[in-house]
């Protein structure tokens, strides 16, 4: 298109150049989670970035579990991660891999390095290795085991594999440069002894490859072209390149780093979430106040809204935090035209229409979405007794109040004009019932004589209303105080992050299924959830209110 300004991100620029220069003739990306927890919004960014690039360049996208560290990994996470990625819409087709499937090839790769004189078995303890490594300002010292013969190294490495040594007794190290200014290049450990059962290979191995050695091999085996990771691996890139070069892979992959996504006022650290779960502050790692992908889904976020968010964030080399309000903006935008706008009263107050026939029910037609006719219309029951929001009536209102008070006329949304005639209150002034009369000529919400009313309020008919538990959320952490406590690093918990109310809702809402979402007029967007529901009735979690504090920056 002529007027379209196509702004490419820096990764696309790199890929464009690689393709133009003939470095690669295709694009092949991957998402490589470690199955040691649930995925969160930051991972979603990585997934959509990698998958998006593969799609954009007509290339391929692999799903690979990076399960080289048997201590922390569990099969249960494998399934939840797959589910989350599918839900986000990233399709790995038939390319689902496990790094542990390559253990034999990794072992062979290590042997190859030994034979080339590029790796050696070292007997130093972990502490000694650290000591010998030097500092940022001082070069390291060579290990006394550095010059073992190829034969001896081959024998010892084999013995490591056979289980002859205990954990930590011996390691295999790359022989690079103890004086390198890059600490990662000072003879890094590439294999360690660990007598542990792996969730997939069981007890077949008692030596396991280190991440920096394993990852480039995984990429090379799968024919990955652009291995996209986050900024903390920038200093590891020379080692990545070294491994790929020394192992002489015909089509070396290229590592590219981008900045992690951080969000303000949310908790992403696994350690903290674990504590929130254990302390019973949230009801699991998919509690709607968290930003794991499962939590976002349960909250009512859509894959489209997360994609929009990730695109708005862009891809950059500089770390920064994105305002949580931007994520909220995206879900509002996504649901605005897609979802029906229904009536639900969260803080009910009885309204009686004294001139409406007792026992009568009529059905009124209402558009499902005023801005999108395609969603059609529905019939809503109407009768003599209704519920309205408590805040929509005031006995003695301030000047600018446009809703119901004695003597005024307002519109009941999609229904009639009503005029307040009085109210009943407790001794303490709490209003119990509001009385009014209606004008039968105003059916549908307009007066034939053209008279106007200042306010329109929503309602539900008392006899047919469903009773539903509604959960309202605020940030799990206290925004004012900041996420972490400055003294002890603990979380500053917001005591009001969850409010539960019993609402009256249109009968149609009681038919909602899990994850169905709606706009409740004037109250926000809500998503049906069945956790802790009573007798199978839906519980509605508020996704987001209608008010926005976020403004899209002008392009
Ligand atoms: P965490 O510590 O939050 O679990 P991680 O990097 O240890 O993150 P992995 O499972 O190792 O989690 O990561 C899988 C992929 O997701 C990696 O390529 C990683 O760089 C990427 N990733 C992780 N966190 C973020 C983030 N906040 N923003 C963007 N990408 C991320
Ligand atoms: Mg990790």
What sign for the dihedral angle of Cα 396, 400, 401, 407?
positive
Least confident of 104-118, 398-412, 437-451, 540-554: 540-554
Residue 555 has pLDDT above 70, yes or no: no
Atom of ligand 1 nearest to the CA of 260: 28
Cα–ligand 1 centroid distance for 46 (angstroms): 7
Query: Residue 133: CA atoms inside 13 Å, Cβ hemisphere, count?
Result: 18
- Please check whether residue 51 is in contact with residue 87, taking contact to mean a CB–CB distance below 8 angstroms: no
- Please check whether residue 339 is in contact with residue 519, taking contact to mean a CB–CB distance below 8 angstroms: yes
Cα–ligand 2 centroid distance for 485 (angstroms): 24
Strands 409-412 and 385-389, bridge-based pairing: unpaired
Cα–ligand 1 centroid distance for 425 (angstroms): 57
Least confident of 69-78, 361-370, 385-394, 523-532: 69-78
pLDDT tens across 62-92, in order?
999 999 998 876 788 899 999 999 999 999 9
Burial 458-472 (b: 16+ CB within 10 A, else e): bbbbbebbbebbbbb
Residue 448, H or E segment: none
Residue 43, ligand 1, Cβ within 6 A: yes
Residue 554: the pLDDT is: 63
Residue 330: the pLDDT is: 97
Name, in order, each residue with C-beta under 8 angstroms of 321's C-beta and a sequence gap of 6 or more.
262, 263, 264
For tokens 């003939």, name the residue. Answer: 22
- Whole-angstrom distance, CA of residue 105 vs CA of residue 120: 18
- Please check whether residue 515 is in contact with residue 531, taking contact to mean a CB–CB distance below 8 angstroms: no
- Whole-angstrom distance, CA of residue 222 vs CA of residue 212: 16
Q: Which ligand is nearest to the CA of 35?
A: 1
For tokens 């190290």, name the residue. Answer: 173
Atom of ligand 1 nearest to the CA of 33: 10
Residue 548: the pLDDT is: 74
Least confident of 119-123, 127-131, 486-490: 486-490
Cα–ligand 1 centroid distance for 198 (angstroms): 22
Residue 33, ligand 1, Cβ within 6 A: yes
Nearest to 489 by CA among 231, 275, 183, 297: 275
Tell me what the mean pLDDT of segment 244-273 comes to. 92
Tokens encoding 55: 């799609």
Which of 33, 266, 294, 309 for a ligand 1 pocket mutation test, highest count of atoms within 8 Å of Cβ?
33
CA-based radius of gyration for the chain: 31
- Whole-angstrom distance, CA of residue 278 vs CA of residue 27: 43
Nearest to 218 by CA among 332, 63, 345, 392: 63
Residue 45, ligand 1, Cβ within 6 A: yes
* Burial bucket for residue 7 (CB in 10 Å: 0-12, 13-18, 19+): exposed
Distances (CA, A) of 437 to 310, 353, 445: 51, 5, 14
Tell me what the mean pLDDT of segment 472-498 comes to. 87
Q: In sequence order, what are the beta bridge partners of 417?
A: 411, 439
Least confident of 57-71, 267-281, 363-377: 267-281
Mean pLDDT of the chain, nearest integer: 94
pLDDT tens across 168-219, in order?
999 999 999 999 999 999 999 999 999 999 999 999 999 999 999 999 999 9
Residue 6: the pLDDT is: 65
Tell me what the mean pLDDT of segment 494-516 comes to. 95
Q: Which ligand is nearest to the CA of 260?
A: 1
Cα–ligand 1 centroid distance for 29 (angstroms): 15
- Please check whether residue 343 is in contact with residue 413, taking contact to mean a CB–CB distance below 8 angstroms: yes
- Please check whether residue 87 is in contact with residue 303, taking contact to mean a CB–CB distance below 8 angstroms: yes
* Burial bucket for residue 75 (CB in 10 Å: 0-12, 13-18, 19+): exposed
Residue 316, ligand 1, Cβ within 6 A: no
pLDDT tens across 405-426, in order?
999 999 999 999 999 999 999 9
Which of 71, 230, 324 for a ligand 1 pocket mutation test, highest count of atoms within 8 Å of Cβ?
230
Atom of ligand 1 nearest to the CA of 233: 20
Residue 4: the pLDDT is: 47
pTM comes to 0.92
């Amino acid at each position: 298109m002529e007027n379209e300004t196509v702004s490419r991100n820096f990764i696309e620029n790199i890929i464009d150049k690689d393709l133009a220069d003939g470095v690669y003739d295709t694009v092949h990306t991957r998402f490589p989670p470690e199955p040691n927890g649930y995925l969160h919004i930051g991972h979603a960014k990585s997934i959509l970035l990698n998958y998006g690039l593969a799609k954009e360049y007509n290339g391929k996208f692999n799903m690979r579990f990076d399960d080289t560290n048997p201590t922390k990994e569990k099969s249960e996470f494998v399934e939840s991660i797959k589910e989350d990625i599918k839900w986000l819409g990233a399709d790995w087709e038939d390319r689902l891999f496990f790094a542990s499937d390559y253990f034999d090839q990794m072992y062979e790769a290590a042997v190859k390095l030994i034979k080339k004189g590029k790796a050696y078995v070292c007997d130093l303890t972990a502490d000694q290795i650290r000591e010998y490594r030097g500092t940022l300002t001082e070069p390291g010292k060579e290990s006394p085991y550095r010059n073992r013969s190829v034969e001896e190294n081959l024998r010892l490495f084999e013995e490591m594999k056979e289980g002859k040594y205990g954990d930590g007794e011996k390691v295999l190290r790359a022989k690079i440069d103890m004086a390198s200014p890059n600490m990662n290049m000072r003879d890094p450990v590439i294999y360690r002894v660990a007598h542990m059962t792996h969730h997939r290979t069981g007890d077949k191995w008692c030596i396991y490859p280190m991440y920096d050695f394993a990852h480039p091999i995984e990429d090379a085996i799968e024919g990955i072209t652009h291995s996209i990771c986050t900024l903390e691996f920038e200093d590891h890139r020379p080692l990545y390149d070294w491994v790929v070069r020394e192992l002489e892979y015909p089509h070396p992959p290229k590592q590219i780093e981008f900045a992690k996504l951080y969000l303000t006022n949310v908790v992403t650290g696994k350690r903290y979430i674990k504590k929130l779960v254990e302390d019973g502050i949230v009801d699991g790692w998919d509690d709607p106040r968290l930003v794991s992908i499962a939590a976002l889904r349960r909250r009512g976020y859509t894959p489209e809204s997360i994609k929009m968010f990730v695109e708005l964030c862009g891809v950059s080399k500089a770390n920064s935090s994105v305002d949580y309000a931007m994520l909220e903006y995206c879900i509002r935008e996504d649901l605005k035209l897609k979802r029906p706008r229904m009536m639900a009263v969260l803080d009910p107050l009885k309204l009686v229409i004294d001139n409406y026939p007792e026992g009568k029910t009529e059905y009124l037609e209402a558009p499902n979405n005023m801005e999108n006719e395609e969603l059609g219309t529905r019939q809503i029951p109407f009768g003599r007794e209704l519920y309205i929001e408590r805040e929509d009536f005031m006995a003695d209102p301030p000047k600018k109040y446009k809703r119901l008070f004695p003597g005024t006329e307002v519109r009941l949304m999609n229904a009639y004009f009503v005029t307040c005639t009085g109210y009943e209150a407790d001794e303490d002034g709490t209003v119990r019932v509001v009385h009014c009369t209606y004008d039968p000529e105003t059916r549908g919400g307009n007066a034939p004589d053209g008279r106007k009313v200042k306010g329109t309020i929503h309602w539900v008919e008392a006899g047919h209303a469903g009773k539903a538990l509604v959960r309202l959320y605020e940030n799990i952490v206290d925004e004012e105080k900041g996420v972490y406590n400055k003294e002890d690093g603990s979380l500053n918990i917001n005591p009001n992050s969850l409010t539960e109310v019993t609402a009256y809702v249109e009968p149609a809402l009681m038919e909602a299924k899990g994850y169905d979402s709606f706009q409740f007029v004037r109250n926000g967007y809500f998503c049906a959830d069945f956790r802790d529901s009573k007798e199978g009735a839906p519980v509605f979690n508020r996704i987001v209110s209608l008010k926005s504090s976020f403004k899209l920056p002008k392009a």
